[in-house]
């Protein structure tokens, strides 16, 4: 059973809906299903653009700290485990996707969930009562290089510093100021607006869009792929410090209470 539902419109827009309730927390399976959905959309000539969205209260709550990461393996090897590698591959898949990718944000986007959102070319959000943020520092987590590079690609240095170092969760009304979305839209028009804009982007000559996008992200892709084993090990080590482990334990207890 897939965690990403797919639905096509007559205008060549494919809607990809994250479907891992209750919070679309990121696991290797979810990342695999997202990448597989992008691969199918890439190969289907009838698909001119994709829209990535959520259903329910969460776009994504980020990495599944209760079951998505093998911390024992991380501790014994000091190298990235499956979720980190799959996250890297999934983010690279978005960057290399030659067609327009549009995100429609309708619920909480936190930590790795926000990174998935930023991986899309164009992002529109719902005016609503939900939260966004990159709170990894607050829970003792380090950013994989691919996530850092996505943030650097989409946000200004000031926006990135506020989100990353402040590690706060912001109301959705701050999303445009922080660069997370290009625009916030009311509930009665968001679906129509997102599909209209995705259709417009998809109407451009394919090769022109693909070539221009590839040029825009080429340096980001190169930096992600240049990560050395030593860099990856330093990132992994942050997760294993005493303070980091304690912070995540407190977060897990908060979530389960």
Concatenating the DSSP letter of every residue in 97-113 gives --S-EEEEE-SEEETHH
Question: Tokens 């989409």 map to which residue?
Answer: 154
Question: Tokens 């393996």 map to which residue?
Answer: 73
Query: What domain count does the chain have?
Result: 1
pLDDT band at residue 75 under the 50/70/90 scheme? very low
Q: Residue 164 maps to which CATH number?
A: 3.90.226.10
Residue 209 lies in a domain: no
The stretch 99-110 carries a mean pLDDT of 98
Number of H helices and number of E strands within the chain?
10, 10
CA distance 233 to 235: 5
pLDDT of residue 257: 63
pLDDT of residue 213: 98
pLDDT tens profile 118-166: 999 999 999 999 999 999 999 898 889 999 999 999 999 999 999 999 9
- Beta-carbon count within 10 A of 195 CB: 18
What is the pTM for the complete model shown? Answer: 0.93
Residue 94 lies in a domain: yes
Helix (H) or strand (E) holding 4: strand 4-8
- Facing residues of 62 across strands? none
pLDDT of residue 70: 57
- State what percent of residues in the chain have pLDDT above 90: 74
The stretch 57-83 carries a mean pLDDT of 67
Structural domain boundaries enclosing 117: 4-202
CA distance 247 to 225: 30
- Facing residues of 108 across strands? 58
Residue 74 lies in a domain: yes
Residue 188 lies in a domain: yes
SS3 assignment, position 68: coil
Phi, psi for residue 104 in degrees, rounded to 5: -115, 105
Residue 85 lies in a domain: yes
């Amino acid at each position: 059973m897939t965690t990403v539902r797919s639905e096509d419109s007559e205008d060549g827009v494919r809607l990809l809906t994250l479907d891992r309730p209750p919070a679309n927390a990121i696991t290797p399976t979810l990342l695999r299903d997202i990448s597989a959905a992008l691969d199918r959309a890439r190969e289907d000539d009838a698909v001119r653009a994709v829209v990535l969205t959520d259903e329910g209260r969460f776009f994504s709550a980020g990495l599944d700290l209760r079951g998505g990461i093998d911390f024992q393996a991380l501790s014994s090897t000091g190298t990235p485990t499956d979720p980190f590698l799959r996250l890297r591959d999934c983010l690279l898949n978005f960057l290399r996707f030659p067609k327009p990718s549009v995100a429609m944000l309708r619920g909480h986007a936190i930590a790795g969930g926000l990174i998935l959102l930023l991986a899309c070319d164009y992002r529109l959000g719902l005016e609503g009562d939900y939260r966004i943020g990159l709170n990894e520092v607050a829970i003792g987590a380090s950013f994989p290089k691919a996530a850092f590079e996505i943030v650097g690609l989409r946000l200004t240095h000031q926006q990135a510093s506020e989100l990353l170092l402040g590690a706060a969760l912001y109301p959705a009304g701050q999303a445009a100021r922080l660069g997370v979305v290009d625009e916030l839209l009311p509930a009665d028009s968001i679906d129509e607006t997102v599909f209209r804009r995705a259709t417009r982007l998809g109407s451009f000559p394919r090769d022109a869009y693909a070539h221009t996008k590839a040029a825009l992200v080429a340096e980001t892709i190169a930096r992600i792929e240049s990560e050395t084993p030593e860099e990856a090990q330093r990132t992994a080590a942050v997760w294993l410090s005493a303070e980091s482990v304690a912070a995540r334990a407190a977060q897990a207890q908060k979530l389960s209470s």
